[in-house]
Structure 1
Amino acid sequence: MGDHNSNTNSTNFNLPPGFRFYPTDEELVVHFLHRKAALLPCHPDIIPDLDLYPYNPWDLNGRAMGEGNKWYYYSRRTSSSGERERWRMSESGYWESIGVEEPIYSSKNGKRVGIKKCSVFYIGDPPHGIKTHWVMQEFMLSNSSTNKKKLRSSSTCTSNDYSRWVVCRVYECGNDDDDDGAELSCLDEVFLSLDDLDDGISNLPN
Structure 2
Amino acid sequence: MQPEALSEIAALAAGELLGGEEVNEHGLPPGFRFHPTDEELITFYLASKVFHGSFCGVQIAEIDLNRCEPWDLPDVAKMGEKEWYFFSLRDRKYPTGLRTNRATGAGYWKATGKDSPDSNSMLLGMKKTLVFYKGRAPKGEKTKWVMHEYRLEGHFSYRHHSTSKVVCYSLNLFAPPSRSPFLHFPELSFFTVAKTNPWPGLAPSPCHTTRVP
Shift of residue 184 of structure 1?
Answer: 5.4
SS state at 1:139 partner: strand
- Partner residue, 2:142: 131
- Partner residue, 1:195: none
C-alpha distance in 1 between matches for 2:92 and 2:54:
27
- Contact residue 38 and residue 147 of structure 1 kept, 8 A: no
Q: Find the partner of 2:77 among 64, 72, 75.
A: 64
Say which one has the larger Rg: 2
Are 1:170 and 2:174 matched, yes or no? no
Q: Deviations over 1:92-145 (max 9, x none)?
A: 211111152110116xxx211111111110111221011011101111111421
- Contact residue 126 and residue 152 of structure 2 kept, 8 A: yes
Residue segments in structure 1 that go unaligned for 5+ positions in a row: 1-9, 153-160, 177-181, 186-206
Q: How many residues align?
A: 158
Q: What RMSD over aligned residues (CA atoms) do the two structures have, in Å?
A: 3.1
- The AA in structure 1 aligned to 2:147 is M
Return closer, same or farther for 1:67/1:117 CA change in 2, 3 Å cut-off. same
Q: Deviations over 1:13-58 (max 9, x none)?
A: 2111111011111111111001111115411131121112321111
- Partner residue, 1:42: 55
Q: Deviations over 1:125-181 (max 9, x none)?
A: 221011011101111111421463xx57xxxxxxxx3552121111113489xxxxx
Q: Find the partner of 1:18 among 26, 31, 40.
A: 31
C-alpha distance in 2 between matches for 1:74 and 1:136:
13
C-alpha distance in 2 between matches for 1:57 and 1:85:
21
Shift of residue 77 of structure 1?
Answer: 1.4
Instruction: Return the structure number with greater strand share.
Output: 1
Residue segments in structure 2 that go unaligned for 5+ positions in a row: 1-22, 178-185, 190-213
C-alpha distance in 2 between matches for 1:143 and 1:77:
18
User: Percent of counterpart pairs with the same letter?
Assistant: 35
- The AA in structure 2 aligned to 1:55 is C
- The AA in structure 1 aligned to 2:167 is V
- Contact residue 24 and residue 183 of structure 1 kept, 8 A: no
SS state at 2:131 partner: strand
Return closer, same or farther for 1:98/1:35 CA change in 2, 3 Å cut-off. same
Are 1:89 and 2:109 matched, yes or no? no
C-alpha distance in 1 between matches for 2:167 and 2:157:
12
Runs of 4+ in 1 over 4 A off after TM superposition: none
SS state at 2:138 partner: coil
Shift of residue 89 of structure 1?
Answer: 1.6
C-alpha distance in 1 between matches for 2:76 and 2:66:
13
